[in-house]
Structure 1
Amino acid sequence: MSVARFIASQRTEHGVPHTLTCRALEVSESWFYKWYDRDPLPRQRRRERLTEAIGKEFDYSGRTYDSPRIGLELGEKGWQVSDNTIAATMAEKGWVARKVKRPCSTARQGKRAAAPDLVRRKFTAVAQGVLGVGDVTEIPTLEGKL
């Protein structure tokens, strides 16, 4: 926030006159009126357009692009801006890229041939109760697991 805006906010928010605030901050009233009512400088207008462009790219990405990626996108559109400037603008606006969670799997399908069926497993039964399937990885006994 600029000093001129601060002085103006003191009057609107707290009812403190401009003259008193200018005297407390040791600036002249003429300086305040010169800077308060002036048009934005070209640099400020460019920064506003840049902030708007960053916001569009950030929203277009689904709020997932960070400053380097937004820098690449803006570079393709003709902007010449550093990643640090983009990062500072994003931090100022509170824009934080969310990380896209990628699925991870420990099993890689299709890398090896299927193992041969040495026990000739049958998963279809002729009638109910004819074929039993079980897991014998452990057998509980009185002395403990076997």
Structure 2
Amino acid sequence: MGAIGSSADNAAPESFNAAFKRETLKGRKAWPSEREARLDAFRWLTQYNTRCRHSRLGQRSPIAYKNTLQQAPTTTTQAA
């Protein structure tokens, strides 16, 4: 992560946005309807979160990585 205002500050979101645009637009200028645009965005996000592996996450998808971080529920002891 870079300092605020540096070009590295937005590197991760810019990379995500570039991939989203590249893979959803695929040379298209527009969608037939807003509904179709939303469905394409939802399909891409679903694939990104469940199937796309990332080297930064140990070659796991974001969902798989998040699931490994889930901790067992903890309970607090009652005060006497």
Q: Structure 1-normalised TM-score?
A: 0.21
Higher relative contact order (CA 8 A, sep 6+): 2
Find the structure with the greater CA-based Rg: 1
Q: Structure 2-normalised TM-score?
A: 0.33
